[in-house]
Amino acid sequence: MSNPALSFKVTRQAPELVVPAAPTPHELKHLSDIDDQEGLRFQVPVIQFYRQSHLGRSRDPVGVIREAIRKALVHYYPFAGRLREVGSGRKLAVDCTGEGVMFIEADADVSVDEFGDVLQPPFPGLDELLFDVPGSGGILGCPLLLFQVTRLTCGGFIVAVRLNHAMADTTGLVNFLTAVGEMARGQPDVSVRPVWCRELLSARDPPRVTCVHHEYDQVEGTIVPFENMVQRSFFFGPDEVAALRNLVPPHLTRCSNFELLTAVLWRTRTVSLKLNPADEVRMMSVVNARHKFNPPLPKGYYGNAFAYPAALTSAGELSANPIGFAVQLVKKAKNEVTEEYMKSVADLMVLNNRPHFTVVQSYLVSDITRVGFETVDFGWGKAAFGGPAKGGIGAIPGFIVLYIPAKNKKGEKGITIPICLSTEAMDVFVKELDGLLETDRLAGDTPKKKTTPLITSTL
């Protein structure tokens, strides 16, 4: 497991701006009406660990990656600009000024192996590995990307990145990082040409909301308290998934692992919070809509192209019913996303002043197991770990939960899911989850291996 008690020193050079390697157009490019909703106006931290490799041929990763960013920005030149609001209705546009992205060179007196035998968030010393340069973290008028490349004592290195989410989703960020990797490996051109075309996800004229969007309901109430919060990461491999699948009725056994795990964790989390049975609870899942369009969005589209449809029920119904009840709700919500649904969301943004999605008694999950962070290669091979630097993203602890590709000590592939709850709720959560995994009593199976918290950290 990762080593949460690890302590090390990071020496950073002065931050600098890295500009495109060649002249780029100076123009104003509007974001889509999916991009500039209130719920995407925040920074996303990503971290990539790389081990020493003969492939690097003793090259300096800092210099190689800095120069590769310059070359990639020629193709992705909007990233070198700055966001501003234009006109009425808080519309976002990127002013393609070519000012560049923030870059930090650093060294740390630590090796990759010291981070533990299983690399996964939360990572110790993250604030030092991805330094928040004063004045750089705003949404408007600030660098849209921040890179910190940190050399390690073992010859490996860490690439930490912070993205202004309004500019791109995780698929779009991986597209850009892949392009940086291709430039770093000496390729003459990017393999996938970036595509702007944000008008494909902009509101219609006139705008018209044609679908139900419970994810944007304006709900009164309190958010889960932040006091005494802890984070634990849970690994779900073949054994754990099989045990949970045995709890689902036959007509639902073909549900995806994502649908199964989301249903189980939503129900277990709701039980642990000890809500009023009459309280309305929501599950929202991030659904990539690129292939929901006809024709699909261009392969190089790097803007935000997803929705988070909501499943609704009461805390009492969700807790009292078997897992199959929650699975059906999750499947139904996911299937609501269509091309028309996306257009309806864009129209809703314009008509309702770009509202934030509902956070009261909500649970939002995002599966990034197939996004491809770990495949990004700067010339040293694939990442030992690639993905989110934290277990969740956004300003509200524990609200957005990420499903991260991982392996256990045996090398079995699975999913790591960091959960953030109060200490009291976490104790109930672990007990409930272990109870589900311990045995399938109805089928009379032999006890299954329990899941165990891999990391505990106080937030």
Residue 457 host element (H or E): strand 453-458
Is the separation of the CB atoms in 99 and 32 below 8 Å?
A: no
* Residues sharing a CB contact under 8 Å with residue 147, sequence separation 6 or more, in sequence order: 18, 65, 69, 101, 102, 103, 104, 159, 160, 161
Is the separation of the CB atoms in 419 and 429 below 8 Å?
A: yes
Biggest CA-to-CA distance, the chain: 69
123, HSE (Cβ side, Cα atoms, 13 Å): 28
Q: Are strands 400-407 and 362-367 parallel, antiparallel or unpaired?
A: parallel
Q: What is the DSSP string of 364-401?
A: EEEE-TTT-GGG--SSS-S-SEEEESSSS-SSSTTTEE
Let me know if 377 is a catalytic residue: yes
* φ, ψ of residue 419 in degrees (nearest 5): -120, 135
286, HSE (Cβ side, Cα atoms, 13 Å): 23
Q: Which listed residue (165, 169, 213, 367) is catalytic?
A: 165
Residue 67 CA to residue 177 CA, distance in Å, equals 13
Residue 78 CA to residue 25 CA, distance in Å, equals 9
Tokens standing for residue 280: 């309305």
Q: Which listed residue (35, 347, 377, 440) is catalytic?
A: 377
Is the separation of the CB atoms in 1 and 118 below 8 Å?
A: yes
Let me know if 440 is a catalytic residue: no
Is the separation of the CB atoms in 234 and 454 below 8 Å?
A: yes
Q: Which residues are catalytic?
A: 165, 377
